């Protein structure tokens, strides 16, 4: 079976080619990332298996690809694929749900600690010639602060475990986690509003969907505690970025740590790039040498499992093609 690779962020596909060859498979890559539906349809054509990251697998695209049997995602996120449409059309969808959870959780925890202690502010102050312990303004003792997790899946749970020894209380809201799976040591809140009002630091750990797009907007930001910190390592469109910058400008929020943005990379001149109260990383929370290798390897191996056994590993949508 040939695998069509629609888009990727690594320098090349040498690892994927090697793994594919070990399983008797071959790869075909696009000359450039498929970003439009027409590009995607033309490139995939009659290929049965694809590896994709953010290529737009909409209902229209999948309907135009009657030979497509499986989409393998080398990541946790599935927002680029219309999952109900894949289910209707019988297309298998698989992801890698756990390869980089420690990286993402630790990235969020590092942002929480660094911003609680205002490390970016101190660094900038020292480099500008100011040697002043009060350069960042009044600081709160971490043991007296409450950290909130919006979403308590694999990553949210790890994040809670990482920050718990440093902060006073960890609270969370996730209506999809039943009581029997709720982790010890995390206070359960039963509404988004309660979480927004309680957290000194709020970290987002949820997939992008119609329900979560722009969930953090002017209304919900206004509910957050004055002086709070927002961290997003999930998906950029969950946060209404202009509303967030406005809340920071007004002083309602203190800082934001963002690993993801609605447009990636941001355009030159985007206000977020120059904002003094935003700490940015380039969608890097997922990354370590080990996680990168595992994500790429397993995205190929799940297609090999499909060829061998009739179904992939780590099924998101069970197909029938």
pLDDT tens digits, 74-107: 999 999 999 999 999 999 999 999 989 999 999 9
**Residue 274, CA distances (Å) to 7, 135, 245, 266 in order:** 29, 20, 11, 11
Q: In 3-state terms, what secondary structure has residue 313?
A: coil
* Angle between helix 14-22 and helix 289-309 axes, rounded to 10 deg: 30
For the chain, the average pLDDT equals 96
Active site residue 264: yes
pLDDT at 40: 96
Domain 101-280, CATH number (from 3.40.50.150, 3.40.50.720, 2.40.30.170, 3.90.79.10): 3.40.50.720
Active site residue 252: no
Task: Write down the catalytic residue from 2, 22, 63, 264.
Answer: 264
Residue 219 has pLDDT above 90, yes or no: yes
Residue 31 has pLDDT above 90, yes or no: no
Share of the chain above pLDDT 90, in %: 97
Tokens representing 227? 């002086």
Say which DSSP state 13 is in: -
| Residue 114: closest CA among 233, 231, 262 | 231
Biggest CA–CA distance in the chain, Å, is: 66
- Chain segment 158-194, per-residue pLDDT in tens: 999 999 999 999 999 999 999 999 999 999 999 999 9
Structural domain spans, the chain: 2-99+288-317, 101-280
Active site residue 107: no
- Chain segment 228-275, per-residue pLDDT in tens: 999 999 999 999 999 999 999 999 999 999 999 999 999 999 999 999
Contact 96, 298 (CB under 8 A): yes
Contact 56, 21 (CB under 8 A): no
pTM, entire model:
0.91
How crowded is the C-beta side of 132, counted as CA atoms within 13 Å?
A: 11
One-character DSSP codes across 19-71: HHHHTT-EEEE-SS---SHHHHHHHHTT-SEEE-SS--B-HHHHHT-TT--EE
- Taking the C-alpha atoms of 95, 161, 148 and 54 in order, what is their torsion angle to the nearest 10 degrees? -20
Task: Write down the catalytic residue from 107, 118, 235, 298.
Answer: 235
* CA 292/CA 316 separation, integer angstroms: 20
Instruction: Compute the average pLDDT of residues 37-53.
Output: 97
Task: Write down the catalytic residue from 283, 294, 297, 318.
Answer: 283
Q: Which fold has domain 2-99+288-317?
A: Rossmann fold (3.40.50)
pLDDT at 187: 97
């Amino acid at each position: 079976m040939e695998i069509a690779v629609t888009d990727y962020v690594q320098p090349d596909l040498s690892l994927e080619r090697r793994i594919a060859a070990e399983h008797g498979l071959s790869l075909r890559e696009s000359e450039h990332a498929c970003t439009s539906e027409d590009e995607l349809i033309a490139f995939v054509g009659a290929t049965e298996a694809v590896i994709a990251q953010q290529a737009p697998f909409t209902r229209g695209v999948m309907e135009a690809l009657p030979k497509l049997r499986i989409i393998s995602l080398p990541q946790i996120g599935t927002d680029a694929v219309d999952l109900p449409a894949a289910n209707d059309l019988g297309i298998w969808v698989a992801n890698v749900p756990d390869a980089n959870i420690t990286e993402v959780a630790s990235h969020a925890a590092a942002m929480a600690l660094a911003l609680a202690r205002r490390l970016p502010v101190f660094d900038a102050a020292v480099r500008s010639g100011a040697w002043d312990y009060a350069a960042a303004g009044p600081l709160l003792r971490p043991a007296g602060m409450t950290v909130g997790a919006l979403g308590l899946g694999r990553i949210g749970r790890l994040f809670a475990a990482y920050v718990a020894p440093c902060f006073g209380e960890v609270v969370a809201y996730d209506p999809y986690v039943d009581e029997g799976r709720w982790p010890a040591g995390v206070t359960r809140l039963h509404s988004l509003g309660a979480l927004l009002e309680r957290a000194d630091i709020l970290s987002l750990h949820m997939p992008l969907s119609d329900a979560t797009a722009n969930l953090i907007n002017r209304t919900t930001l206004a509910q957050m505690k004055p002086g709070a910190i927002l961290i997003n390592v999930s998906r950029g469109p969950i946060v209404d970025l202009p509303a967030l910058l406005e809340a920071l400008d007004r002083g309602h929020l203190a800082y934001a740590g963002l690993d993801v943005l609605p447009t990636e990379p941001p355009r030159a001149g985007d206000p977020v790039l120059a904002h003094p109260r935003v700490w940015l990383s380039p969608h890097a929370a997922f990354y370590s040498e080990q996680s990168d290798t595992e994500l790429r390897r397993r995205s190929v191996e799940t297609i090999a499992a499909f060829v061998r056994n009739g179904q992939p590993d780590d099924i998101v949508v069970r197909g029938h093609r």
